[in-house]
Amino acid sequence: MTVAIALQLAAGAVVLALLSALVSFFPAGVRRLLALPLFALAGLLALVAGVGALFHGGVATAELPLGLPWLPWQVRLDALSGFFLCVVGVVSFAVGLYAPGYVRGFAYGNDSLRALGCFTGLFLTGMLLVILANDAYMFMVAWELMSLSSYFLVAWHHDHAANRRAAFLYLLMAHVGGLSILLGYGVLASFGGDFTFAAMRGAELSFGWASVAFVLAFIGFGMKADLVPLHAWLPEAHPVAPSHISALMSGVMLKVAVYGFIRFVFDLLGDIHWQWGVAVMAIGSVSALMGVLYALMQHDLKRLLAYHSVENIGIIFIGLGLALLFLAEGHTVIGTVAFVAALYHTINHALFKSLLFMGAGAILHSANERDLENMGGLLRRMPWTGLFFLIGCISISALPPFNGFVSEWLTFQAALQAWQLESGVLRSIVPIAAAMLALTGALAAACFVKVYGVAFLGQARSRAVRRARKAPLSMRVGQGVLALLCLLLGILPTFFIDLLDSVPQQVLGHGLTRASAHGWLWLTPISRETASYSAPMVAVALTISLVLGLWLLGRGIRRVRRCDAWDCGFAPPTPMMQYTAAAFAQPIRRVFGLLFHIDEGVEPQEDGRLRHRLQVRDRAWDLFYTPVARVVERAARQVVRLQSGNIRIYLGWTLATLLLLLWLIA
Amino acid sequence: MMLNAWGLALLQAVLYVALAPLLAGWVRKVKARLQNRRGITLWQPYQDLYKLFAKEARMAHTASLLFRAAPYIVFVATWLAVAAVPLVTTSLPTAAIADVIVIAGLLALARFFLALAGMDVGTAFGGMGASREMFVSALAEPAMLMAVFTLAMTAHSTNLASVVEYQLHGDTILRPSYMFALAGLVLVAVAETGRIPVDNPTTHLELTMIHEAMILEYSGRHLALMEWAAQLKLLLYGVLLVNVFFPWGSIAQGTNPVTLGIALLLVVVKLALLGVALAVSETVLAKMRVFRVPAFLNLALLLALLGLLSHVILEVGT
């Protein structure tokens, strides 16, 4: 398969995604039969196209008869876009499998399934087009299509005022970010003379102007990708969408923002400077740490997962920052390792975050519950969902032999080469970022012990959860696909790193062939002496010893006699005596108390009982959002003075503006 | 030669499992003597394990399948982590399979399931133990990684065998970064193996338990596996401290049986000395309140980070 065919397949994926949007307007029977299968098929086709482009490693371009008269839409498929097509495709495929069971739960609700299907299709179309775009104009149109259609998906449950507010916030942030990206492209276009990416690549920018473009792109894409301190909108917006949409938004849309950043900075901008690397790494580390700490404080499962997206995007940006830093200093090999680590974490996060959101959706579907404090014992009610969710938890906690560990290992390996840097300041910044990454990983494990322990283990804390039913088959299959992939990417990293090797080859002009230089068993990113990890052997050793242990001690699966819980001889515990999510996180809340806005207290109720009140607010609201909102409001109040209501004065203003602009141009 | 090395690796793994209860028994014995008690025999931990394996395992009504699987996973993950640490020779293939980050990852995997098992039955003590364990490890794990990263950066390798070899061959100058890393790692080892002053392995008061609270519901062979895994972890940190910081004599670089025998003897002596040090510190120190532990672990993290920074600032390029 050549890249040209892959491009045609990608075009087919776009058409199928559009069709799945169109089908939603047909009668309910047709819609049910076609919409989601078409969606899954679009995902599969995108995946195939992406793998084809990665495998071949070439470039294919085409022009579409759309767009402006002097600027027809240009599309291009290369290794980088191929990789991101894979990310979008694989998750969309799994979501397409999962969604039929999930959407059936809405059949008797008030909200329009037609709108849901239509915007889901358009959302996928937008994301695919962003990845395929080869000029800034088409990129921005596709970007807006993606943002707007996801706005309607966030606002889909519009009965609650809180959801509408979250959706508005999302729209606002998406557009501020979009504006920033547009200005970034504007800088590049004014030097390149054209809006096509090809012209932008050729543009010669001074350090100052390149930095301006970089900062604009970093703000714009960072806002979409959800970096601290711009992150506060995401934990509001993503959880209120239907769960399969949350999976798409957190798992895929954030990755599209990562794609935009990589395309802009690594591909279009040309020369790289270490100052950018430091900025990206610093923001990434802070995002990772703050994301996981805020996640620990949540008890709404979907909000918690959304905060973990902040964390994981932070980890991806740590990798990208390291790559920028090392590349700018001339250490290509290490820069490539960091770049590959970031890419690997990108696909990993897409897989396990979608998997976890699907699990949250399954619980929502079966028990109508999002609050961890009401869950418990779900593993026995929903064994398959429980197993897949456990795999997601282990993967996101970066534990071997699953996929999250591989990318974190690679990131550490890159950071450990800091001694090669010439500047002492840079040498000492990199280890601090590594320390923050280590802290993040450990805290993430704590957080997912909390999630899994409170939700799936122990005893049910509410009636609905006690009676939860198994999730429908389609949902289990969708989750199973992703869980399997999490395992595969964990135990066979060399295969996947070989496959995506054409991305660094194309973007950085330098591949990472050493990673598998010692055979598929050994992952050796830098050299065999420096570091090696044999994921297949660790996995095999784990399996063999487990089986041996079970065989020796368990002698098959013997029946174990059951009794009451011992609990040190106290009275048999009731579900209410279990540790809650808030209790679990209490030590960490106390140690990191300064970083949160905590409102905690015990207040007596009317019936004489006491009630514990705990609210943890994001400090970003007080430090960033509220001041900005206040400034905007104050500015708006100043503008009000112009509004006298007299049309002649308005016309005068218009004339003055026109004259000013004419004077500026002339 | 190749088969020989793999056979040795297997032998080393078995040796670790066999030796782990002995170290735990030794520490208990020394501690008892320091406290003017006669104490148990050295073999008591073996007898305890034997007794537990022979006994019937019982499970609470509310326990799930994870509760049954967890002891096996915890034991196997800890065992694999230990097996990758060079005991008497650096020329084993195991160190290349799992470098020091993987060892930390395997320990984290074991801890993950240990904490989940604690929460499975749904008792308050189990949850409390799990919460505190994850809280302690969240601060201890980065400190451990930073400490070993100092060594890894000095040796330009995260492979433990290479780190040890670098130590053996390198000039024996006193590096400030090593002192910081050693101090940090000692503090981490105390916290991670659940010793005084962070946790008390012999406590009988539920509210002060961390590790014991998590395995409160286990019995029979399940409990035996959990106990054994804890002893393995103690041995792992012991060998890590001894062989990475003081490898001279106790670690050979070939597979010559004579040198291996001498090395084994020396490593046992060194571990015994370390056990005495642990017993002394457990006797003179009192257990801390839980909320003193962060200060303790922040100190460990700070020391380890200082080690790393002093390495990259002072020692690189000179």
A633 lies in a domain?
A: yes
Once rounded to an integer, what is the mean pLDDT over residues B180-203?
Answer: 90
Confidence of residue B172 (pLDDT cuts 50, 70, 90): low
Residue A287's closest CA among A256, A320, A325? A320
Query: Can you give the residue range of the structural domain that contains A651?
Result: 620-665
CB contact under 8 A, A435 and B128: no
- Identify the pLDDT of residue A554: 67
Distance CA A209, CA A587 (A): 47
Residue B122 forms contact with A (CB below 8 Å): yes
Q: Which helix (H) or strand (E) holds A63?
A: strand A60-68
Mean pLDDT taken over chain B: 90
- Identify the pLDDT of residue B317: 63
Confidence of residue A558 (pLDDT cuts 50, 70, 90): low
A628 lies in a domain?
A: yes
Residue of chain B nearest A458, judged by CA positions: B122
A201 lies in a domain?
A: no
Q: Which residues of chain B make contact with A519, given a CB cutoff of 8 A?
A: none
- Identify the pLDDT of residue A286: 95
Mean pLDDT taken over chain A: 91
pLDDT in tens, A524-538: 888 888 888 999 999
Flag whether pLDDT at B1 surpasses 70.
no
- Identify the pLDDT of residue A1: 63
CB contact under 8 A, A416 and B153: yes
Residue B292 DSSP label? G
Residue A407 forms contact with B (CB below 8 Å): no
The dihedral region occupied by A582, where left means phi > 0, alpha psi between -120 and 50, and beta the remainder, is alpha
A630 lies in a domain?
A: yes
Helix (H, G, I), strand (E, B) or coil at B197: coil
Once rounded to an integer, what is the mean pLDDT over residues A345-366?
Answer: 95
pLDDT in tens, A126-162: 999 999 999 999 999 999 999 999 999 999 988 888 8
pLDDT in tens, A49-107: 999 999 888 899 998 888 778 788 899 999 999 999 999 999 999 999 999 999 888 88
Residues 414-433 on A with a CB inside 8 Å of B are 416, 418-419, 424, 427-428, 430-432
When comparing pLDDT for B202 and A626, which is higher? Answer: A626
CB contact under 8 A, B141 and A442: yes
Task: Tell me the CA distances in angstroms from B82 to A394, A415, A467, B235, B240, one per residue in order.
Answer: 21, 25, 43, 8, 9
A248 lies in a domain?
A: no
Once rounded to an integer, what is the mean pLDDT over residues A615-637?
Answer: 89
* ipTM of the modeled complex: 0.95
When comparing pLDDT for B256 and A267, which is higher? Answer: A267
- Rounded to the nearest angstrom, the minimum Cα separation between A459 and chain B is 6
Which of A560, A577, A588, A592 best tests the B interface by mutation, with the highest count of B CBs <10 A?
Answer: A560
The three state secondary structure string of A126-194 is HHHHHHHECEHHHHHHHHHHHHHHHHHHHCCCCCCHHHHHHHHHHHHHHHHHHHHHHHHHHHHHHHHCC
Once rounded to an integer, what is the mean pLDDT over residues A169-178?
Answer: 92
Flag whether pLDDT at A557 surpasses 80.
no
Provide the number of structural domains found in chain A.
1
- Identify the pLDDT of residue A43: 95
Which of B78, B121, B164 best tests the A interface by mutation, with the highest count of A CBs <10 A?
Answer: B121
- Identify the pLDDT of residue A532: 87
Once rounded to an integer, what is the mean pLDDT over residues B46-58?
Answer: 92
Residue B313 forms contact with A (CB below 8 Å): yes
Which of A311, A428, A449 best tests the B interface by mutation, with the highest count of B CBs <10 A?
Answer: A449
Provide the number of structural domains found in chain B.
1
Query: Can you give the residue range of the structural domain that contains B102?
Result: 2-315
Flag whether pLDDT at B318 surpasses 60.
no
CA angle A606, A610, A615 (to 5 degrees): 105
- Rounded to the nearest angstrom, the minimum Cα separation between B156 and chain A is 6
Residue B203 forms contact with A (CB below 8 Å): no
Residue B123 forms contact with A (CB below 8 Å): yes
Q: Highest mean pLDDT: which of A357-361, A651-655, B173-177?
A: A357-361
Task: Tell me the CA distances in angstroms from B55 to B25, B75, B117, B212, B220, one per residue in order.
Answer: 21, 18, 20, 19, 5
Once rounded to an integer, what is the mean pLDDT over residues B28-55?
Answer: 92
Q: Which stretches within A24-154 are classed as H helix? A: 28-56, 79-104, 113-132, 136-154
pLDDT in tens, A369-422: 999 999 999 999 999 999 999 999 999 999 999 999 999 999 999 999 988 888
